[in-house]
């Protein structure tokens, strides 16, 4: 099993397909809500503030060259192990196909 370092805080930005081995893919799910365009950016930033004030975790994700206002939803996988400051997958060699295909998204925290 591969072990990774404990994430202190979510990175402000990550790069598509560049795994930081932070365990965030097994701790949070990202739900794209609205595509951000120049025309709706101000309105969506207001919505992001509203979401933040209501204890949600709004982020901006990038997918296929487009930006989306998304939510980071805490959904810790039952197979994620945390020991001595390291995260690892208890079923890494037998993990489901969805986990093998997981594509880490670019994201920025909005706070």
CA angle, corner 105, sides to 103 and 106, nearest 5? 150
- Return the closest-CA partner of residue 14 out of 103, 99, 82, 111: 103
Q: What is the pLDDT along the chain (111 residues), one digit of tens a residue?
A: 444 444 443 333 333 445 556 777 788 777 888 999 999 999 999 998 988 888 888 888 888 889 999 887 878 889 988 877 777 888 988 989 988 877 766 555 554
Interatomic CA distance for residues 46 and 69, integer angstroms: 11
Would you say 60 and 31 are in contact if contact means Cβ atoms under 8 Å apart?
A: no
pTM for the model: 0.51
pLDDT at 20: 58
Residue spans per domain, the chain: 14-109
């Amino acid at each position: 099993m591969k072990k990774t370092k404990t994430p202190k805080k979510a990175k402000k930005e990550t790069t598509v397909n560049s795994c930081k081995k932070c365990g965030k893919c097994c701790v949070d799910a990202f739900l794209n809500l609205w595509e951000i365009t120049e025309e709706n950016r101000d309105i969506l930033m207001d919505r992001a503030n509203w979401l933040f004030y209501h204890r949600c975790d709004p982020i901006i994700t990038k997918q296929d060259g487009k930006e989306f206002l998304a939510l980071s939803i805490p959904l810790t996988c039952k197979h994620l192990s945390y020991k001595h400051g390291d995260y690892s997958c208890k079923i890494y060699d037998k993990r489901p196909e969805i986990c093998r295909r997981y594509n880490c998204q670019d994201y920025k925290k909005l706070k």
